[in-house]
Amino acid sequence: MSSDTVIGSQKRVWKRRTYLIDREFQLKYIFMLASIGAGSIALFGGLTWWAHTAALEAGSGSEGFAGMTILWLTVLAVVGTSVALGLFGLVFTHRVAGPVHVMNLYVEALAAGHYPRLRPLRKYDELKKFFDRFSHAVERIRAREADEARALSQALSVFQPLATSDEARAALKVLEELHSRKREAVDKPVSGNHPVVPTR
């Protein structure tokens, strides 16, 4: 493959990149941020215009006062916008970090060989579509493991009377342990509120 072909394929990949992956989620917060920024600048502009016209009406003697007023309005606008965006960031990150934290605990439970007891997200949490897909996947894996546990139980009931040699009994014991692990994981879901410590 020539270098021109590689560069061409890289350019095509770059052009295909999509920035609005979850349009509803992203556009909602883009609009909120843009509204906060535009509203803050509009308020600052209105107050500045008020200070300017008040200085013109009062005459030349109040120009210094108007300049100080505009300076303080600028400081107030900067501080106010910072506080507003900071509070917005706190609320937004809480709505995203909460579901991510819960799903991290669920993943830890799965890694430890347990199925988490899934609970719905809070009313104003984000990532609900992703969480629903994640929950659906966990439930499907759990149902498949329950089917495998039933199949193992049937196989064990058939093979137990036939296991006469030491090798067969050892293999049967391995299957029984696997069956008990699967049954315990399926029948005893753990709470997703606390991390699960893996047991050996």
Q: Rounded to 5 degrees, what angle do the CA atoms 39, 26, 45 make?
A: 10
Give backbone dihedrals phi and psi of 116, rounded to 5 degrees, phi first. -75, 150
- Indicate the range of 7-16, 91-100, 107-116, 178-187 predicted with least confidence: 7-16
49-53, 66-70, 89-93: least confident range: 66-70
Spatial distance between the Cα atoms of 89 and 127, rounded to a whole number of angstroms: 16
Helix (H, G, I), strand (E, B) or coil at 116: strand
Q: Which amino acid is at 66?
A: A
> Looking at the predicted structure, is the pLDDT value of residue 196 above 50?
no
Cα 46 to Cα 25, 41, 75, 77, 78: the distances in Å are 32, 9, 15, 11, 15
pLDDT digits (tens, 9 = 90+) for 112-152: 888 888 888 888 888 899 999 999 999 999 999 999 989 98
Q: Residue 38 — very low, low, confident or very high, per pLDDT cuts 50/70/90?
A: confident
Q: Work out the pLDDT band at 189, boundaries 50, 70, 90.
A: confident
- 3-state class of 188 per DSSP? coil
Distance CA 117, CA 135 (A): 10
pLDDT for res 28: 86
Tell me the pLDDT tens digit for each residue of 8-18.
555 555 555 77
The number of residues in the chain equals: 200
Query: Rounded to two decimals, what is the model's pTM?
Result: 0.64
Residue listed under structure tokens 């014991």: 173
- Determine phi and psi for 117, rounding to 5 degrees: -85, 105
